């Protein structure tokens, strides 16, 4: 059994994308209390939830700015119902390799007109 299966995370991480991009519709952005580490005091962090997705994504400044840029609005109340593309990005944090979740504008939906 894989360790991630033994200890499932409440929030999505870069590894959940399995190396692929995904386009999702934003359902809501909410503030949630969480502990950054054992024994640490609770702190409020913002989480973006998506329609049909089981886990939310904790927003950091980089991800929030990417979503705001992709949607053309830094007002999180305006994000609901908008689609974005999430993608994994490999990086090194304090000498440890990580996979971050990043965001960009979703590709426009194409519709076949069959010559009309």
Mean pLDDT over each residue of the chain, to the nearest integer: 91
Structural domain contains residue 116: no
Q: Which residues pair with 29 in a beta bridge?
A: 48
Structural domain contains residue 26: yes
Is a pLDDT exceeding 50 seen at residue 113? no
Cα 22 to the center of its chain, rounded Å: 10
Reduced to 3 states (helix: H, G, I; strand: E, B; else coil), residue 72 is coil
Structural domain contains residue 113: no
Confidence of residue 115 (pLDDT cuts 50, 70, 90): very low
Dihedral Cα 28, 106, 108, 21, nearest 10 deg: -120
pLDDT at residue 2, rounded to an integer: 82
Structural domain contains residue 111: no
Q: How far apart are CA 49 and CA 1, in angstroms?
A: 28
pLDDT at residue 109, rounded to an integer: 58
Full-model pTM? 0.85
Structural domain contains residue 1: no
């Amino acid at each position: 059994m894989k360790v991630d299966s033994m200890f499932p995370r409440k929030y999505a991480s870069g590894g959940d994308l399995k190396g692929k991009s995904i386009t999702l519709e934003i359902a809501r952005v909410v503030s949630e209390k969480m502990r950054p580490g054992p024994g640490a005091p609770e702190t409020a962090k913002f989480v973006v939830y998506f329609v049909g997705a089981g886990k939310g994504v904790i927003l950091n400044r980089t991800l929030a700015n990417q979503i705001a840029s992709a949607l053309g609005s830094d007002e999180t109340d305006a994000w609901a119902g908008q689609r974005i593309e999430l993608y994994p990005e490999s990086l090194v944090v304090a000498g440890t390799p990580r996979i971050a979740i990043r965001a960009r504008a979703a590709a426009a939906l194409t519709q076949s007109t069959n010559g009309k």
